[in-house]
């Protein structure tokens, strides 16, 4: 019989992975499964979580296991689906499955030898960008949907952001500059030689100008791909003419800002019917429905109004700030 010292026992994990474990990604759903071996004598009522991480820095999914049962066998089998927050970009990611308790202590980790490549809408080729007459002109070689033919994308949008740090595919903090709604794209299809002219909000010289390809999903807009963007110094200077630069940055998780950040100070939560009807494409019936469903705390709440789709929501975001909900 092998005897372990108290120090050896203390250093050994309370719970660890068995021989069977793995993951699968299906769209924005992650399926996680694992056999877990448990030292039942050391369980003390803590909750446990099964997490999937990319590159050790981006959490993709989390499955709450709760309190591990004491069954006299020292064995627990976990498996279920979880919402996935997939990292943006086309590069393969090193993926790890992590077992962690609610104190944040990692009990075990397994890293898979083959990187995970994610099939999601992509930007291909070089992005060219320059400022002309208060517009930002963008040209892209190709936007592609590499998913299966029957997999129609959600509504795609391009968003230009000035970020605080270089972007690597996870969450970010920065200032939105401009955007354009593109529409949906079938799987195995692409748009080639794309050009866009977008009004823009003034932005600082300091930061990292980044183009995001975003897709509408049940969880709102999600970043699928990105590219850094360069402007010549003389073009960048023109963005400061007769402009007031925003003082505060926003985060990806904040309420999305209007498409080109040129809205009035009027809040959608306070506007009357006549003001709402000045938005092109809104009928009296839809305008009344917008009034009936107030207050709105996020733009996703607005999208739930019958008759308001992504394109109409973008028009509202251009004309109105969301503002604070009315009492």
Name residue, tokens 């060219």: 128
Residue 164: pLDDT band with limits 50, 70, 90: confident
Residue 122: pLDDT band with limits 50, 70, 90: very high
Q: What is the DSSP letter of 325?
A: P
pLDDT of residue 260: 34
Domain spans of the chain, in order of start: 6-111, 122-251, 273-319
Residue 244: pLDDT band with limits 50, 70, 90: very low
> Rounded mean pLDDT of 252-278?
58
Cα–Cα distance for residue pair 169/188, rounded to 1 Å: 23
Dihedral over Cα of 154, 159, 161, 165: its sign: positive
pLDDT of residue 189: 93
The residues with which 132 forms a beta bridge, in sequence order, are: 135
Name residue, tokens 């000035």: 162
For the cut 60, the answer to whether the pLDDT of residue 235 exceeds it is no
On whether the 6-111 domain is CATH 2.60.40.10, my answer is yes
On the question of a common fold for 6-111 and 122-251, the answer reads: yes
Residue 236: pLDDT band with limits 50, 70, 90: low
> Rounded mean pLDDT of 48-56?
92
254, 152 in Cβ contact below 8 A? no
On whether the 122-251 domain is CATH 2.60.40, my answer is yes
pLDDT of residue 26: 81
138 Cβ partners below 8 Å, 6+ apart?
127, 128, 129, 158, 160, 194, 195, 196, 197, 198, 211
Phi, then psi, of 315 in degrees rounded to 5: -65, -40
pLDDT of residue 7: 44
């Amino acid at each position: 019989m092998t005897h372990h010292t108290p120090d050896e026992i203390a250093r050994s994990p309370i719970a660890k992975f068995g021989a069977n474990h793995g993951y699968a990604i299906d769209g924005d759903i992650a399926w996680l499964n694992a056999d877990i071996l448990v030292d039942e004598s050391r369980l003390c009522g803590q909750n446990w979580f099964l997490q999937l991480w990319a590159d050790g820095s981006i959490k993709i999914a989390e499955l709450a296991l709760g309190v591990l049962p004491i069954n006299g066998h020292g064995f627990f089998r976990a498996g279920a689906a979880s919402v996935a927050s997939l990292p943006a970009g086309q590069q393969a990611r090193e993926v790890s499955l992590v077992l962690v308790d609610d104190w944040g202590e990692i009990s075990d980790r397994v890293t898979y030898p083959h990187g995970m490549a994610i099939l999601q809408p992509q930007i291909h080729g070089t992005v060219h960008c320059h400022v002309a007459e208060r517009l930002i002109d963008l040209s892209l070689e190709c936007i592609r949907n590499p998913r299966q033919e029957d997999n129609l994308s959600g509504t795609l949008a391009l968003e230009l952001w000035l970020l605080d740090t270089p972007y690597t595919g996870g969450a970010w903090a920065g200032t939105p500059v401009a955007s354009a709604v593109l529409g949906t794209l079938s799987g195995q299809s692409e748009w080639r030689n794309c050009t866009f002219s977008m009004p823009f909000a003034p932005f600082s010289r300091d930061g990292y100008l980044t183009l995001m390809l975003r897709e509408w999903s049940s969880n709102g807009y999600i970043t699928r791909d990105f590219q850094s963007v360069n402007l010549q110094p003389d073009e960048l200077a023109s963005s400061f003419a007769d402009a007031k630069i925003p003082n505060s940055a926003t985060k990806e998780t904040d309420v999305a800002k209007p498409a080109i950040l040129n809205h009035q100070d009027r809040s959608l939560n306070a506007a009357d019917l006549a003001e709402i009807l000045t938005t092109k494409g809104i009928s009296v019936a839809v305008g009344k429905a917008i009034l009936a469903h107030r207050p709105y705390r996020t733009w996703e709440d607005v999208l739930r109004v019958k008759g308001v789709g992504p394109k109409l929501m973008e028009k509202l975001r251009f004309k109105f700030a969301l503002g604070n909900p009315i009492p």
